[in-house]
A and B are shown apart, each in its own frame.
Chain A
């Protein structure tokens, strides 16, 4: 009998570190009760940070576990982004958990486990690995959405997310089974090889179902219905988490599967991605206009932004992928900063989430108003802020790939979208002030400052970041 080789475990060290760490934290939490929440929260952030440090210092690249797990510059960059997103989301929940009475030690542990799932999604080089990573992330997210179980809205959000998520997993699995049936492989390289030989209608069906399942995870139209309700219903720190890291991971997974497995069918999937991109951009721009709740507004904003990021993917070129990477980086930073502001919208009698509650913020809290204004301008894509450059690079790639209609619709949608971001700015600066918010917590200040400074002074680091993004994109070409 053949003796199995021991896989190169060093490649998956961050994942194993998170898995082991999460179990240790679970023990700590279970044996010392809810009093250990603070320690567990601190240690979870430390776990994520150390995993990120390992990724930055370890240059090892390659494949492990029978080619089911891949580590390349792209995976490394996306994993670092995911880890930053999750660590910041946990840190931002500290103050909220204390004041809103939901200090459960399981919350940071579930986020660590979700992050583990996301890292596996980014590294997945096999349909089975992809599905298992996705499911681990999704299960943790369902629970986290409903974690405030005494609140009707939170449980509703969790249940809605669970039912629709299960449906999308079903579609993804059906597509995966079709692809496996027609190509005989679950490994991405094997699928690409079989597709290059012959492309049958069944394979295209498989691609459509898989893309539909993934589009649900990045909340792209027409699979976006859950987003506004879940964003509004889930506790705000959870929403901040949902809007950042999982989107990055799902986008990375989408980029990898279309470029590694479905490369020979590029003509087919580029059409689908173009359609999803247009629909997301347009719906994100128009549906957000009527919103009065800022969390719902952010939900529609994230739908629109996913559309813009997909424009780069639709180009199907190296510039396009590099644009997507850059877009996700900038989107994540802007979103986390905006959610730091939303988490700071607290009066002495509790949290408020209406846009009108921000009126006159410029007089009651000028610093927060300034930062939030910069973030809103950046989300709208106004130069020279970071958001402009993100959009610039994806549209540049689309024009180079001769996708003129897509680019024109995208720019128009971005103009429409600017309206509702500017309306928030108008509320902040020109409306009558209301009673001010309670002072911002330290960690929120830190996140907001970092995010605001990054957005405003993006041009100073732009060269270096786009070099990194290009190096990451070169993994596929």
Chain B
């Protein structure tokens, strides 16, 4: 089917070209108007050729220039003289001949050589240049401007490469960092609330006067909570992510699935943190609360949990910092967080060392900044201060 369509299209296009050429011939036969017509056509159809395999430079490629290129000296009968003002490029005075591939095989073309005399550094940035063509045909002439951009190329040195990678791709890095921070923060917050549920399950106490049904329910909930914690702390997050994304195809959206995995994973860790926080509250307060007639729920809600959570805040903050680092594994399910973004960048110039060096610095800056911010908050809130966290 598609072959048929292609065939028809080719036929139609070929016919259109023949038709157009016939028209041109008939126009050429007339006088002065035809001359200007030639010129207009010349600078409409002008082509530049890259020094790399003499490929035709489309307008797009001219704006991403990294190699020498050629400008035509003539277009049919129209002669073209060029002028170029740029500190980075020079235009040769003499005409060269190159062979370019066309539909009718190799064709020799007279060209001027535009060579790069100086590669702009990443600090100098993209260099826009203007090529002015002067078209002459018999006694008619016209000028036209073409704009292109010479872009910096990655230096061979390590430091140059690092600087280049950083400046050139800062936007991509920042996008990745924003995603990393976003997933980590949202994941930690959701994980916190999930953890409260898990902790309530895990710290259920069975009292002597529970009915057997209530007792059984409590035991089941306790078991489920414990199992949840063992499961999520005992398996790598990369496996969890792959399981939920590739295995179950959850949500049909990798980002949502990733957020889901981070939240569940963090919940297991925070649950253990809060449980420790609860255990650290002296039992006297629970007894006092009981002796005043408060229920177990009220005691938890108003007395124990507020203190346990407050004491757990530094450790929960650490979980956030750990997540900033550990969400790198979400690259496995195709989320373009900071690490995956870096892999993409590293592939652009095949310069792994520079890309991963830059991202290491970015990760360090992120974790260090967040850690110091959290420390400040902790001091304000009069919480116990913790050191820079290690990974889970």
Q: Do they bind each other?
A: no
A interface residues (Cβ-Cβ under 8 A, vs B): none
